[in-house]
Structure formats: structure tokens, C-alpha cells
Amino acid sequence: MSGPIRFLNTFAQAIAAMSLYRDGHPQRERAIDAAYRDLHDLQVQDPRPLFTFLGDEVIYGKLPIRELREWDWSKRLAAAGIQRLELTDDVTREDFEGFLDDVVVRLTVASVDTSEARQRRTSIKFGAVGIRGPGELSQETEVPTATLSFSLGEEADAVRWLHDEVRQHGVFPIAEAEAVVRSLTVAMHGGRQVMLPLLQLKDFDQYTTTHSLNVSVLTMGLAEFMGMGAADVRTLGVAGLLHDVGKIKVPRDLLTKPGKLTPDERAVISQHPRYGAQLILESEEQLDLAAVVAYEHHIMLNGGGYPRFRFPRPCHPAGNLVHVCDVYDALRTRRPYRDAWPAEDALRYVEGRGGMEFDPEIVRAFVAMVHQWETGLTVLADERTPIPAPPGDISPVPG
């Protein structure tokens, strides 16, 4: 078997394994390692292999691979906007896994739009290709990548459905949660600069859905800005997505109350971190970090907030990280009892609370991230038709 064919076969097997197994599973890791090893073997002879997928045809360089005529994966990849794939000789294992994650998203998430193409990374280039004549490929100087159309409507629907599943059946659809996070990751990296696509609240009943997606995006952006690896970034993204899941056990009329809460009402709302951690721990999924974040995301550095520890101890760094993102997005959102804060005021609040409410190192990183990536902050309207959703967080306490 030739090098190009061997690589494409293990490449397809890796995509299949990543669709079936979660991060860290031995089968998943073995499949990725095998494909990455075959890529390196291929690059001994061809440092910059170039593949084109055109319906039934697979073209390597300028020559068709006759053995892969009518190869099913060629059609799938082309339909997902990956008609052309070029790999350079400096592809790292992490880059390769991240690229495979993008491929899985494009093959499984309906919201991927390949009508626009942008450059994403220099080591792996992929996207659509133009046809000038029978079998003649356009000779672009750069191979663009497919990107998401920034509506996030499918992702919002998935989160609403996820919350309903937890409420009605007590089951966490972790595969769907991870798919949402992967889709958000693709949206964040659609262009040359990191994007932070944030949903704008359409009505108060949709707050938890919108807020969960925004906190996930901000958490992943901050984790990446702080230099964390791709797997850790996605794990934190899931934790951010699930941080407020305990609100499904709080009465809707209480959460949507526009006036001042009584002490008893505030006490009920303040139970949602405990409810969330309990729901996550009672599931059969391995979501220990998400449970910790759900429990700790309202606890302040100085010991204030809620719930109170029986014995004082520091919060987990993930809880501290999500806490900052949670409060920032809550302040930026219009609520029944107040208008949304301007971005500058919300950032100033977060910065001023460093060392008291928030971990100062995380605050410094968050402020630096917002300043550096502010042109990539994109506020979107959720244009999807509203469907029954879990109650939102309308407590006077931010987040």
C-alpha cells in the first residue's frame, strides 16, 4: 500500500474513532497516533502532501489515486467543505488532533457553512477549491478553510434540548455537549484572528441558554489565551457550558421575578450551584471537573459568595476561571431588574474585584485577552424560533 493511501485510510479511521470515543479513550488516542505516524512516514518522501477530494475522485498532488476511486470518504469530506487538504512538515500532534476535531464537527454539525473560506492555521490548510476546466484545479496561493456562519442557532437549540433532557430524565447527553463545544471552537477559529462569538439575549426566558454558550466561549478563549492545550480548553468549555445547569431545579417564576428578591427567595436561588454539582455527579458521565465548577463558580476568593465551605479552602483554578467569565457575561446582559452594563464598565468591575472576588492572575489574563481580542468580540442575535427552555438566572447577584 502506498504512503498516500495508507495515510488516508488511517486518517478516516481516526475520524471515525473520534466520533465514537471521548477525549482520552485508548481507542481514540491509538487511532490519532496511527494517522499522525503515517503522515510523518508520508512526509519523508513528500514534505507538503496535497490532497483534493472531488466527488468520486481523490487526487494526490496532480495525479488521481485510482485505488481510491469511489472512496466514500472523498464524498463526505467534499460535502463538508474539505475539498482540498495540504499539510506542511511542521504539523504537531496537537495541531493534527485539533484539525481532526474540526473535521468531525464539519461532518456532524449541520450549522457549518462552507460558502465563505478563511485561512485558519499555517501547518494544515483546507477548504474549497475552484474548478477551471475538466480536472483542472485553480492555483490559489493559499488554501482557505471553511468556517461557521455565525448564527449559533443550532448550538442554542442543542443546549436547550440538553437542559430539557437533564430536567426530564436526569441524564447528561455528554456527546451533544461535547459537539456543541467543538462547534464553538470552530466558530472561534474561523479566521486569522481568534473570534469570541457571543449571543445576545432575545427574551429573559432564554437567558440560561444564551449565558451558558457565552460563558463556554469566554472560558475557552481565556484558557487558550493563558496557554492551555487544546484538550484542556475543550474540557473547560464543557464545564463552562454546564456551570449553571442547577437552575433547572429552581422555579421559573422565581428566576424571572423582575423586582427585589426576599431573603428566602435569594436563598432558594443560591442553591443552584449545589443542585448543579449534584446533578452532574449523579450522572454516569466522567464530569468531575464540571461538577467542581458548577459548585464553585459563585464562591469568591475572600470566602464570600455561595455556597459556603464548611472548612475554608481555595477554589479549583477552573472554578476561579469560569467565575470571572460568568460575572462578565452576566453584567453585559440585560436583565428584568437592570440594563446591560457597557463593556468598559463590566471590565472595570472585574478588574476592580481582583484579589477580593476573583483570582488576580486570572483577572489580569482576562482583561488582557479582551483588550487584545476586542476586535474579535462578535455579539450575535439568536434568530432561532424560541422553544421551551429552562429558566434563566435573574438573581441580583451577577451570574
In the chain, where are the structural domains located? 3-148, 153-381
DSSP-derived 3-state class of residue 53: strand
Highest CATH level, class, for 153-381:
mainly alpha
For the chain, give the percent of residues with pLDDT over 90: 42
Statement: residue 14 has pLDDT above 60: yes
Statement: residue 359 has pLDDT above 70: yes
Q: DSSP letters of 256-307?
A: T--SPPPHHHHHHHTTHHHHHHHHHHHSSS--HHHHHHHHHTTB-TTS-BSS
Statement: residue 146 has pLDDT above 50: no
- 186 closest CA partner among 262, 110, 78: 110
Round the average pLDDT of the chain to a whole number and report it.
81
- 221 closest CA partner among 320, 368, 332: 368
Residue 1, pLDDT score? 54
Statement: residue 394 has pLDDT above 50: no
pLDDT tens-digit map of 200-257: 776 666 778 899 999 999 999 999 999 998 889 989 999 999 999 999 999 888 877 8
Quick one: average pLDDT of 103-129?
A: 61
Residue 119, pLDDT score? 39
Residue 151, pLDDT score? 61
For the chain, give the percent of residues with pLDDT over 70: 82
Cα gap 184→195, rounded to integer Å: 10
If one compares 286 and 393, the residue with the highest pLDDT of the two is: 286
Strands (E), the chain: 50-54, 57-60, 63-64, 84-87, 112-118, 124-127, 131-133, 136-137, 145-148, 196-200, 377-381
Statement: residue 385 has pLDDT above 50: no
Residue 193, pLDDT score? 65
If one compares 113 and 197, the residue with the highest pLDDT of the two is: 197
Q: Do the beta carbons of residue 299 and residue 306 sit within 8 Å?
A: yes
pLDDT tens-digit map of 98-111: 899 888 888 875 44
Statement: residue 126 has pLDDT above 70: yes
- 273 closest CA partner among 253, 258, 293, 303: 293
192: left (phi over 0), alpha (psi -120 to 50) or beta: alpha
Statement: residue 117 has pLDDT above 60: no
Statement: residue 142 has pLDDT above 70: no
pLDDT grade for 188, boundaries at 50, 70 and 90? confident
Backbone Cα Rg of the chain: 23
Quick one: average pLDDT of 75-95?
A: 87
Residue 109, pLDDT score? 59
CA 277 to chain centre: 21
> Backbone phi, then psi, for 378, in 5-degree steps?
-120, 115
pLDDT grade for 157, boundaries at 50, 70 and 90? confident
If one compares 259 and 104, the residue with the highest pLDDT of the two is: 104
**How far is the CA of 268 from the CAs of 249, 252, 306, 314, 386, in angstroms?**
10, 12, 12, 25, 27
Residue 203, pLDDT score? 62
CA–CA–CA angle 233, 178, 299 (5° rounding): 55
Residue 190, pLDDT score? 56
Instruction: Select the highest-mean-pLDDT range: 52-56, 67-71, 363-367, 382-386.
Output: 363-367
pLDDT tens-digit map of 320-355: 999 999 999 999 988 777 788 999 999 999 999 999
Residue 149, pLDDT score? 40
